[in-house]
Amino acid sequence: MSRYRGPRFKRIRRLGALPGLTSKRPRAESDLRSKPRSGKKSQYRIRLEEKQKLRFHYGLTERQLLKYVRIAGKAKGPTGQVLLQLLEMRLDNILFRLGMASTIPQARQLVNHRHILINGHIVDIPSYRCKPQDIITVRDKQKSRALIQNYLESSPHEELPKNLTLHPFQYKGLVNQIIDSKWVGLKINELLIVEYYSRQT
């Protein structure tokens, strides 16, 4: 299944707020979700919707998400927490968290167009896994810095996760450590996602 490119509000109304997918918001709180369907949700549907939240927020294909779930399952620690940490340490997500992009799709485009450096080297792979002490900077070009400046000014000024530091006037961000799951900020039950995939195999 390919990356979702359809109407973004349709996903928000069904699944709730997905800040990584779009910076726009419905006009009224009542528009955030569509009217609930009659009848109780099945356990399968509940797990499916949690999986879809994660997938659409981070902008992943089904194959990519399954790959991350398998990696998390082989790592030390609770699979759900490790999964969130893996996704949060992606370069496109780090740029989004730093405010250098308003959405994760914007961040992915910045990386693809070679505007971003890590430790002084151009990285054009959005899924690049950042590590503690990585220094993320913008290319010393007028176009690159103008793009980032615009995003920094337009992005919501939310508190940064403790694992990141931003130096806006230097167009630089620092990865201090692997993120703690409590700072992810996405209302999601990662255990249900792990259960969803465990029942598919």
122-145: average pLDDT: 96
Residue-range domain boundaries for the chain: 8-86+185-198, 90-177
Contact 35, 70 (CB under 8 A): no
Residues 6+ apart with CB under 8 A from 36: none
Q: Which residues pair with 174 in a beta bridge?
A: 135, 165
Q: Band of the pLDDT at 189, cuts 50, 70, 90? A: confident
- Three-point CA angle 31, 102, 89, nearest 5°: 110
pLDDT, tens only, 100-115 = 998 899 999 999 999 9
Neighbours of 102 (CB within 10 A): 19
Q: Which CATH number fits domain 8-86+185-198: 1.25.40.20, 1.20.1530.20, 1.10.150.570, 1.10.1050.10?
A: 1.10.1050.10
Q: Provide the H-helix boundaries in 89-141.
A: 91-98, 104-112
For the segment 14-58, what is each residue's pLDDT rounded down to a tens digit? Answer: 555 555 555 555 554 444 444 445 468 888 888 998 898 888 889
CATH architecture, range 90-177:
Roll (3.10)
Please report the pLDDT score of residue 134 as a whole number: 97
User: What's the number of CA atoms in the CB half-sphere (13 Å) around residue 117?
Assistant: 12
Q: Which two tokens stand for residue 131?
A: 């590590």
pLDDT of residue 166: 95
162-182 tens-digit pLDDT: 899 999 999 999 999 998 877
User: pTM of the predicted model, to two decimals?
Assistant: 0.82
